Amino acid sequence: MAEASIFLDESGDLGWVLDKPRGNGGSSKYIILAAIVVPHGQNHHLERIVRHLYKQRGRAANSELKSTALNGHERTTFARALVKLLDRNLNFSLHAVVAEKANVINALSSKTEVLYNHMAERMLHDTIATFAKVEFFPDARTVKKSDKHALHNYLETRLAIAGHRVDITTEPCESGRFKEIQAADILASIVWAKYEENNPLFDNELLDAVQLIKLY
């Protein structure tokens, strides 16, 4: 039975004030979801990449390192480590989906949880369909435990409509407890910086490694 764990996080805020500068009363122009698919029993490879960043900083393992705290060198080191991981193991995969808020229809922009679920499903549908069992771990800051069934049910419904039967468990988790979610957070921030800030890191290091969808 093919099994995998999927770790998901987002970058960019969920605000919709687009007529003011970001950070000065305005919101981000883009929202990004990123996911890392890890074959069953292979989590330690991804954890090791994040722990290396902690070690470089002399930071305690229980003191969460946010993506916003990383400098350019650390982000580049992280990106290159992900590429090496994929080169060693083809069953790992990296995913991202982009929404430019100005292009999102009103029916979705007024219901951010529905937009989130839609983006996650579009990003991961084809990948989840290749597995018999998937453990799905979104960041609990975005997907609350009380809302986990909405995401779970939407994924199951869309997969079933397409003819796929996958055993999915969904458990929102605090990123501070999961280095794998922290890795998804860093990946999301690199993709977000490409669109929001024209940062070249993604194109230079991850362009061929990440399955990227521009949804809106």
CATH number for the domain harbouring residue 122: 3.30.420.10
Q: What is the pLDDT of residue 144?
A: 64
What token pair was written down for 115? 């937009």
DSSP state of 189: H
Helices (H), 89-209: 106-109, 112-128, 148-161, 179-196, 201
* Interstrand relation of 3-11 and 30-39 (parallel, antiparallel or unpaired): antiparallel
Comparison of pLDDT for 54 and 129, the residue scoring more? 129
The three-state secondary structure class of 138 is strand
The pLDDT tens digits of the residues spanning 150-171 come to 888 999 999 999 999 999 998 8
| CA–CA dist 185, 51 (Å, integer) | 14
187 neighbors 96 (Cβ within 8 angstroms): yes
What token pair was written down for 16? 């919709």
Q: What is the pLDDT of residue 27?
A: 92
> How does the average pLDDT of the chain come out, rounded?
90
Tell me the residue range of the domain where 12 lies: 3-214
In the block, residue with structure tokens 């290396």: 52
134 CB-contact burial (10 Å; exposed 0-12 / middle 13-18 / buried 19+): buried
Residue 146 binned pLDDT confidence (cut-offs 50, 70, 90): low
152 neighbors 168 (Cβ within 8 angstroms): yes
Write down the pTM of the prediction.
Answer: 0.93
**Hey, what's the torsion of the CAs at 150, 182, 91, 159, to 10 degrees?**
10
Residue 8 binned pLDDT confidence (cut-offs 50, 70, 90): very high
Q: How many domains does the chain have?
A: 1
The order of strands in the sheet holding 93-100 is: 167-170, 133-138, 3-11, 30-39, 93-100, 210-214
Residue 126 binned pLDDT confidence (cut-offs 50, 70, 90): very high
Give the mean model confidence (pLDDT) for residues 138-142: 84
Give me the DSSP letters along 8-76: EEEES-S----SS-BTTTB--SEEEEEEEEEETT-HHHHHHHHHHHHHHHT--TTS---GGG--HHHHH
